[in-house]
Amino acid sequence: MTAMQKRALVVGLGIAGMSAAIGLRRAGWTPVIVERAPERRTGGYFVGLFPEGRQAAVDLGIADHLHTRNPERAAGTNAWSVDRRGRRRPALGFLDQPGGPAAVLRGDIEAALWQSITGVEVRFATTPVAITEGPAEAQVLLEHADTGGQYRESFDLVIGADGMRSSVRRMVFGPHEDHLTTWNAMICAFQLKEQAPTYEASDSIIIARAKRAVWVFGLADHAPTALLTYRTTDIQEQFSGSRLERLRAVFSGMDDPTVRHVLDSLEEAPDHVFDSVHQVRMPRWSTGRVVLVGDAAWCMNLYSGMGATSSLRGGAALGAALQEHPDDLAAALDAWEAGLRPFITKHQRAARLKQQMFVPSSRRAEALRSVLVGLARRVRGRQSATESGGPQDVALSGTLR
């Protein structure tokens, strides 16, 4: 069989799935994507895209389609933290991190990928319900959500890119409990209709208290997005009853106009993400003819800020490995995992520390966070004064604008 004839089933039309499909097509494979949803989703929350993700976008040939939204101001002048007395101070925001992340909405990345998968077959409202691996092929039983109709199809490779609660992972590698680590934290992310009162449109606002935090991410040409995150040991309980009432209860006592604005806006938001926080830990991301990529394989969670970046990189690298080993699938998957694993491990570990920056675990951690951010901001201020161009220029330089 020639490389041209090899077919891969990609499960999931997210960043990882589309990146893998483009990577595979470049390697001479024919990818077929199945997506559970009836149509392609758009919009989404703020995502910071780091240099490795931007490089992967270049490698995948989607960089020219990728719309970025960094507010055009110097580092440290568009992010504010609000203390317990309601005082507003200049802060280092998400975009001021080393690496100068590019500000995008998740939908911006998916739209860029979508433009580049023209010609790839995409079947909506379709999910795999059984996967049987043989030496020469993987047999997949697919189900159409509307009709309930099922049919079997064979593929040379099945790529599970179906997110943190991957059904491919559950079917092939075992139950969720074996791979999902619980972080005793919740998130709610959505787009605001308008900026919080008294702030400029592209300002970012950080209100990080012990065990609960509200973040507003300002964007250049779009209303900001909001993130509510809190720590709790009773994850199950968080999914019962009204979400809005629960969030109002969790954030009660944080008497700040921005918090009120965010909670009121949630009521009117057309959609939102509300979920528990986990990491996916797996000793191996592939077996025989089935491989996982993106959140399905290594979900680092939002605190790492590297999920979209690693999904792009993982998909692009998978295609490159298959191209390098056209006649040896096992060698390709080995090489892919060996190349990617150190990057993933590093950022999975870093996420624990970053969680403290997003939502401190205690009053002491909150105070420490405040001191560290203040110090970092002063250092950054001195660097900006001595260097030509600040970190914001770094974020906007290179291939992406």
117 CB contacts (<8 Å, ≥6 apart)?
Answer: 18, 21, 22, 25, 33
Question: Looking at beta carbons only, is 161 or 208 nearer to ligand FAD?
Answer: 161
By CB under 6 A, residue 199 contacts ligand FAD: no
> Strand 79-82 relative to strand 204-209: parallel, antiparallel, unpaired?
parallel
Give 174's contacts (C-beta < 8 A, 6+ positions apart).
none
Q: Does 167 bind ligand FAD (CB under 6 A)?
A: yes
β-strand pairing of 290-292 with 157-160 = parallel
Residue nearest to ligand FAD (CB): 307
107 belongs to the binding site for ligand FAD (CB under 6 A) = no
- In the complex, the smallest distance separating the C-beta of residue 185 from ligand FAD, rounded to whole angstroms, is 12
Binding mask 212-251 for ligand FAD (x = CB under 6 A): ---------------x------------------------
* DSSP H/E element including 296: helix 295-298
22 near ligand FAD (CB under 6 A)? no
Strands across the sheet containing 126-133: 126-133, 138-144, 150-155
Of the ranges 139-147, 231-239, 289-297, 392-400, which one interacts with ligand FAD (CB under 6 A)?
Answer: 289-297
Does residue 186 contact residue 232 with C-beta atoms inside 8 Å? yes
From 173-181, 230-238, 258-266, 301-309, span contacting ligand FAD (CB under 6 A): 301-309
Q: How far is the CB of 46 from ligand FAD (least distance, A)?
A: 6
User: At closest approach, how far in Å is the CB of 311 from ligand FAD?
Assistant: 4
How many Å apart are CA 58 and CA 276, to the nearest integer? 32
- The encoded tokens of residue 183 equal 């972080």
Judged by CB under 6 A, the residue of 76, 99, 224, 294 near ligand FAD is 294
| Binder among 6, 106, 212, 261 for ligand FAD (CB under 6 A) | 106
Q: Beta-carbon neighbour count of residue 134 at 10 Å?
A: 10
Q: Which is nearer to ligand FAD, 108 or 156 (CB)?
A: 108
318 binds ligand FAD (CB under 6 A): no
Indicate whether 311 belongs to the interface with ligand FAD (CB under 6 A).
yes
Is the Cβ of residue 226 or residue 383 nearer to ligand FAD in the bound state? 226
Nearer to ligand FAD (CB atom), residue 35 or residue 203: 35
Identity of the amino acid at 222: H
Q: Please answer whether residues 269 and 191 qualify as being in contact, where contact means their C-beta atoms are separated by less than 8 angstroms.
A: yes
Q: Residue 300 or 386: which CB sits closer to ligand FAD?
A: 300
Q: How far is the CB of 103 from ligand FAD (least distance, A)?
A: 9
CB of 196 to ligand FAD, least distance (A): 18
Helices 106-116/307-324 angle, 10° precision: 20
What span, in angstroms and rounded, lies between the C-alpha atoms of 2 and 133? 20
HSE value, Cβ hemisphere, 13 Å, CA-based, for 341:
12
Q: Could you tell me if 259 and 214 are in contact, meaning their C-beta atoms sit under 8 angstroms apart?
A: yes
Using DSSP, state whether 1 is helix, strand or coil: coil
Residues in 47-66 at the binding interface with ligand FAD, rule: CB under 6 A: 47-48
202: number of Cβ within 10 Å = 21
Q: How far is the CB of 204 from ligand FAD (least distance, A)?
A: 12
Ramachandran class of 76: left when φ > 0, alpha when ψ lies in -120 to 50, beta otherwise: left
For 343, the token pair is 């990057």
46 neighbors 217 (Cβ within 8 angstroms): yes
Count of beta carbons in the 10 Å neighbourhood of residue 372:
13
**Considering the rule CB under 6 A, would residue 302 count as an interface residue with ligand FAD?**
yes
| Contact residue for ligand FAD among 6, 8, 14, 390 (CB under 6 A) | 14
Give the shortest CB-155-to-ligand FAD separation in angstroms: 14
Positions 122 through 161 that interact with ligand FAD (CB under 6 A): 127, 161
Minimum distance of ligand FAD from residue 231's CB (angstroms)? 15
Q: Which residue is associated with the tokens 């483009």?
A: 22
Smallest gap from Cβ 41 to ligand FAD, in A, equals 6
Where along the sequence are the contacts to ligand FAD (CB under 6 A)?
11-17, 34-37, 45, 47-48, 106, 127, 161-163, 167, 187, 189, 227, 273, 294-296, 302, 305-309, 311
